[in-house]
Protein backbone atom coordinates (compact mmCIF):
# COMPACT_ATOMS: atom_id res chain seq x y z
CA UNK A 1 0.00 0.00 0.00
CA UNK A 2 2.85 2.35 0.88
CA UNK A 3 4.54 1.61 -2.46
CA UNK A 4 1.28 2.33 -4.29
CA UNK A 5 0.92 5.76 -2.64
CA UNK A 6 4.56 6.58 -3.38
CA UNK A 7 4.13 5.51 -7.01
CA UNK A 8 0.90 7.54 -7.31
CA UNK A 9 2.64 10.61 -5.90
CA UNK A 10 5.52 10.23 -8.38
CA UNK A 11 3.14 9.87 -11.32
CA UNK A 12 1.19 12.97 -10.23
CA UNK A 13 4.41 14.96 -9.81
CA UNK A 14 5.60 13.86 -13.25
CA UNK A 15 2.34 15.00 -14.84
CA UNK A 16 2.68 18.40 -13.21
CA UNK A 17 6.36 18.91 -14.10
CA UNK A 18 6.49 17.42 -17.62
CA UNK A 19 4.92 19.71 -20.23
CA UNK A 20 2.73 18.04 -22.79
CA UNK A 21 3.30 18.28 -26.52
CA UNK A 22 -0.23 19.68 -26.91
CA UNK A 23 0.52 22.84 -24.90
CA UNK A 24 -0.20 25.76 -27.20
CA UNK A 25 -0.70 29.43 -26.60
CA UNK A 26 -3.85 31.03 -27.85
CA UNK A 27 -4.29 34.76 -27.90
CA UNK A 28 -7.50 35.70 -26.15
CA UNK A 29 -9.51 38.48 -27.75
CA UNK A 30 -10.99 41.15 -25.55
CA UNK A 31 -14.73 41.55 -25.74
CA UNK A 32 -16.02 44.79 -27.24
CA UNK A 33 -17.43 45.76 -23.84
CA UNK A 34 -13.99 45.45 -22.23
CA UNK A 35 -12.43 47.54 -25.01
CA UNK A 36 -15.16 50.15 -24.60
CA UNK A 37 -14.58 50.37 -20.83
CA UNK A 38 -10.83 50.72 -21.32
CA UNK A 39 -11.31 53.82 -23.49
CA UNK A 40 -12.36 55.84 -20.41
CA UNK A 41 -11.05 53.92 -17.39
CA UNK A 42 -11.59 56.86 -15.02
CA UNK A 43 -15.38 56.73 -15.29
CA UNK A 44 -16.10 53.25 -16.68
CA UNK A 45 -15.74 49.69 -15.44
CA UNK A 46 -16.70 46.30 -16.83
CA UNK A 47 -17.82 43.03 -15.35
CA UNK A 48 -18.37 39.50 -16.55
CA UNK A 49 -20.92 36.92 -15.42
CA UNK A 50 -21.59 33.33 -16.43
CA UNK A 51 -24.67 31.40 -15.40
CA UNK A 52 -27.39 29.11 -16.76
CA UNK A 53 -29.91 31.92 -16.29
CA UNK A 54 -29.29 35.01 -18.43
CA UNK A 55 -30.57 37.52 -15.87
CA UNK A 56 -28.40 35.96 -13.17
CA UNK A 57 -25.37 36.17 -15.44
CA UNK A 58 -26.21 39.83 -16.10
CA UNK A 59 -26.60 40.53 -12.37
CA UNK A 60 -23.22 38.92 -11.65
CA UNK A 61 -21.60 41.03 -14.39
CA UNK A 62 -23.22 44.23 -13.08
CA UNK A 63 -22.09 43.49 -9.51
CA UNK A 64 -18.52 42.94 -10.72
CA UNK A 65 -18.56 46.16 -12.74
CA UNK A 66 -20.01 48.18 -9.84
CA UNK A 67 -17.45 46.70 -7.45
CA UNK A 68 -14.61 47.58 -9.83
CA UNK A 69 -15.81 51.16 -10.32
CA UNK A 70 -16.48 51.57 -6.61
CA UNK A 71 -13.01 50.34 -5.69
CA UNK A 72 -11.45 52.78 -8.14
CA UNK A 73 -13.53 55.69 -6.80
CA UNK A 74 -13.01 54.77 -3.14
CA UNK A 75 -9.28 54.81 -3.69
CA UNK A 76 -9.43 58.28 -5.25
CA UNK A 77 -11.74 59.67 -2.54
CA UNK A 78 -9.70 58.16 0.29
CA UNK A 79 -6.50 59.59 -1.19
CA UNK A 80 -8.20 62.97 -1.49
CA UNK A 81 -9.34 62.81 2.15
CA UNK A 82 -5.81 61.90 3.24
CA UNK A 83 -3.97 64.59 1.30
CA UNK A 84 -6.26 67.55 0.68
CA UNK A 85 -9.02 67.55 3.27
CA UNK A 86 -8.72 68.64 6.89
CA UNK A 87 -10.74 66.60 9.40
CA UNK A 88 -11.76 69.17 12.01
CA UNK A 89 -12.52 66.46 14.58
CA UNK A 90 -8.95 65.15 14.36
CA UNK A 91 -7.71 68.13 16.34
CA UNK A 92 -10.21 67.73 19.14
CA UNK A 93 -8.37 65.70 21.75
CA UNK A 94 -9.87 63.73 24.57
CA UNK A 95 -6.48 62.85 26.00
CA UNK A 96 -5.98 59.72 23.94
CA UNK A 97 -4.78 61.02 20.57
CA UNK A 98 -3.70 57.60 19.22
CA UNK A 99 -7.18 56.18 19.79
CA UNK A 100 -8.77 59.31 18.31
CA UNK A 101 -6.57 59.06 15.22
CA UNK A 102 -7.40 55.35 14.76
CA UNK A 103 -11.11 56.12 15.12
CA UNK A 104 -10.78 58.98 12.64
CA UNK A 105 -9.11 56.67 10.10
CA UNK A 106 -11.84 54.04 10.55
CA UNK A 107 -14.51 56.72 10.16
CA UNK A 108 -12.81 58.03 7.04
CA UNK A 109 -12.79 54.56 5.42
CA UNK A 110 -16.43 54.01 6.31
CA UNK A 111 -17.43 57.44 5.04
CA UNK A 112 -15.49 56.87 1.83
CA UNK A 113 -17.51 53.71 1.15
CA UNK A 114 -20.79 55.45 1.99
CA UNK A 115 -20.05 58.47 -0.18
CA UNK A 116 -18.96 56.30 -3.10
CA UNK A 117 -22.11 54.19 -2.96
CA UNK A 118 -24.25 57.37 -2.87
CA UNK A 119 -22.52 58.91 -5.89
CA UNK A 120 -22.47 55.71 -7.96
CA UNK A 121 -25.90 54.43 -6.90
CA UNK A 122 -27.68 54.83 -10.23
CA UNK A 123 -24.71 54.42 -12.55
CA UNK A 124 -26.22 52.90 -15.70
CA UNK A 125 -25.09 50.01 -17.84
CA UNK A 126 -23.97 51.56 -21.14
CA UNK A 127 -22.87 48.50 -23.12
CA UNK A 128 -23.66 44.79 -22.97
CA UNK A 129 -22.55 41.62 -24.77
CA UNK A 130 -24.38 38.31 -24.31
CA UNK A 131 -23.09 34.93 -25.47
CA UNK A 132 -24.69 31.49 -25.25
CA UNK A 133 -21.94 28.96 -24.58
CA UNK A 134 -21.68 25.29 -25.56
CA UNK A 135 -22.06 24.49 -21.85
CA UNK A 136 -25.62 25.87 -22.11
CA UNK A 137 -24.68 28.89 -19.99
CA UNK A 138 -24.94 32.57 -20.73
CA UNK A 139 -21.81 34.69 -20.58
CA UNK A 140 -22.60 38.38 -20.14
CA UNK A 141 -20.24 41.36 -20.24
CA UNK A 142 -21.46 44.76 -19.08
CA UNK A 143 -19.88 48.19 -18.92
CA UNK A 144 -21.13 50.80 -16.48
CA UNK A 145 -20.23 54.46 -16.70
CA UNK A 146 -20.59 57.51 -14.51
CA UNK A 147 -22.61 59.94 -16.59
CA UNK A 148 -20.47 63.07 -16.66
CA UNK A 149 -16.91 64.29 -16.72
CA UNK A 150 -14.20 63.73 -14.13
CA UNK A 151 -14.89 67.28 -12.91
CA UNK A 152 -18.58 66.39 -12.45
CA UNK A 153 -17.53 63.30 -10.55
CA UNK A 154 -15.17 65.28 -8.33
CA UNK A 155 -17.89 67.89 -7.66
CA UNK A 156 -20.34 65.19 -6.55
CA UNK A 157 -17.78 63.68 -4.18
CA UNK A 158 -16.75 67.10 -2.82
CA UNK A 159 -20.41 68.00 -2.24
CA UNK A 160 -21.02 64.76 -0.35
CA UNK A 161 -17.89 65.27 1.76
CA UNK A 162 -18.93 68.86 2.55
CA UNK A 163 -22.32 67.60 3.76
CA UNK A 164 -20.77 65.43 6.51
CA UNK A 165 -21.37 67.13 9.85
CA UNK A 166 -19.92 66.77 13.32
CA UNK A 167 -22.13 65.98 16.30
CA UNK A 168 -22.73 69.70 16.87
CA UNK A 169 -23.83 70.30 13.25
CA UNK A 170 -20.63 71.89 11.99
CA UNK A 171 -19.04 70.71 8.73
CA UNK A 172 -16.58 67.96 9.63
CA UNK A 173 -14.23 68.43 6.70
CA UNK A 174 -12.53 71.45 5.20
CA UNK A 175 -11.69 70.79 1.58
CA UNK A 176 -8.73 72.49 -0.08
CA UNK A 177 -10.45 72.51 -3.47
CA UNK A 178 -7.53 72.89 -5.88
CA UNK A 179 -5.33 70.33 -4.12
CA UNK A 180 -8.27 67.93 -3.65
CA UNK A 181 -9.19 68.13 -7.34
CA UNK A 182 -5.56 67.43 -8.36
CA UNK A 183 -5.24 64.45 -6.00
CA UNK A 184 -8.60 63.00 -7.03
CA UNK A 185 -7.87 63.32 -10.76
CA UNK A 186 -4.31 62.00 -10.45
CA UNK A 187 -5.46 58.97 -8.46
CA UNK A 188 -8.15 58.13 -11.02
CA UNK A 189 -5.62 58.30 -13.85
CA UNK A 190 -3.29 55.76 -12.22
Question: How does DSSP classify residue 165?
Answer: B
**Domain segments of the chain: what residues?**
30-188
User: In whole numbers, what is the pLDDT of the chain averaged over residues?
Assistant: 82
What is the structure's pLDDT at 1? 52
Specify which residues 139 forms β-bridges with: 50, 131
Instruction: Please give the average per-residue pLDDT across 99-124, as a whole number.
Output: 77
What is the structure's pLDDT at 18? 47
Query: Residue 8: is its pLDDT beyond 50?
Result: no
Answer positive or negative: Cα dihedral of 103, 106, 111, 114: negative
Among residues 97, 87, 77, which one has the least CA distance to residue 165?
A: 87
pTM of the model: 0.75
Looking at domain 30-188, which of 3.40.710.10, 3.20.20.70, 3.40.1280.10, 3.10.28.20 is its CATH number?
3.10.28.20
What is the structure's pLDDT at 57? 97
Answer positive or negative: Cα dihedral of 67, 114, 78, 124: positive
Strand 173-175 versus strand 125-132 pairing type: unpaired
CA distance 92 to 119: 29
CB 66, CB 47: distance < 8 Å: yes
Under the phi-then-psi rule, with left for phi > 0, alpha for psi from -120 to 50, and beta for the rest, what region is 164?
Answer: beta
CA distance 1 to 132: 47
CA distance 182 to 94: 33
Query: Residue 15: is its pLDDT beyond 70?
Result: no
E strand spans, 16-107: 44-51, 85-87
What is the structure's pLDDT at 122? 87
pLDDT tens for 25-66 read 777 889 999 999 999 999 999 999 999 999 999 999 999 999
Amino acid sequence: MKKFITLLALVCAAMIVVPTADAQQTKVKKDKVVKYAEKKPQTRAWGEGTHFNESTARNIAEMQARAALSAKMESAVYQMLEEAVVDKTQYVSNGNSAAALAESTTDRKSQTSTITSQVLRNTPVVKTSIYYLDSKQYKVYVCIEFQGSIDDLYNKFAENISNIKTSNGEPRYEIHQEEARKVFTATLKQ
